[in-house]
Amino acid sequence: MSFFEEIGEKLENALHDIATIEHAMILEKKDGYVYCIQQTEGDSISCISEKPIDEEYLRLFNDCFHASSEARTSITRFIIECITNK
């Protein structure tokens, strides 16, 4: 499975409508990190999981963030591209 397919698969189930994504973020909790997407419709913040994410998700997010920074695009745009261009 390619990198784009992997992140797309992990994210698309948690998103209500990719057109309403505003921000992607990792929230630090007492016992770990939670990967969240802020959207303009529905729930304002959608979390991939209520439980803290494992290192695989954190690494995946960081890889996306660095790739989007290098490409001079937003992490949100990068995630949308991952989901829509499998």
Structure confidence by residue, pLDDT tens digits, 51-82: 666 666 667 767 776 666 666 666 666 666 66
Closest CA relative to residue 38, chosen from 20, 52, 50: 20
pLDDT value at position 31? 72
pLDDT value at position 59? 73
Tell me the Cα Rg of the chain. 12
Q: Give the domain extent around 55.
A: 3-84
What is the percentage of the chain residues whose pLDDT exceeds 70? 7
Q: Whole-model pTM above 0.85? A: no
Q: Is the pLDDT of residue 40 over 70?
A: no
* Overall number of domains in the chain: 1
- Rounded Cα–Cα distance for residues 49 and 1 (Å): 22
pLDDT value at position 6? 66
